[in-house]
Amino acid sequence: DGGITQSPKYLFRKEGQNVTLSCEQNLNHDAMYWYRQDPGQGLRLIYYSQIVNDFQKGDIAEGYSVSREKKESFPLTVTSAQKNPTAFYLCASSIQQGTREQYFGPGTRLTVT
């Protein structure tokens, strides 16, 4: 089955700790994205990557970091600098950057206390 996997589904961390969220895709897509969703809100773009070893900041990149060492993987690190890290994080991919059809993973719900 082709698709996007995110793990874990639920993640709990103490304030001040960095945490890395996993995102893997086997769709052979060039572009990958990270979004954040808060309760009752739409999605906000954190980072995106068009190709391996390249990524750009989205609307709310502060306090986050990413890497794109492999085409299949786009991990997101939520650093201690992120003021309000508790949220639902969604990873997506598309055939190429600029394509309107994005495929989303199941999401990771991060709770920081």
Query: Nearer to other proteins by C-beta: 19 or 91?
Result: 91
- Min dist CB 43 to other proteins, Å, is 4
Q: Which parts of this chain interact with other proteins (CB under 8 A)?
A: 4, 35, 40-45, 48, 50, 56, 58, 88, 90-92, 97-107, 109
Q: In sequence order, what are the residues at sequence separation of 6 or more whose Cβ sits closer than 8 angstroms to the Cβ of residue 66?
A: 34, 46, 47, 49, 55, 74, 75, 76, 77
In the complex, the smallest distance separating the C-beta of residue 83 from other proteins, rounded to whole angstroms, is 21
Instruction: Report how far residue 11's alpha carbon sits from residue 23's, in angstroms, rounded to the nearest whole number.
Output: 14
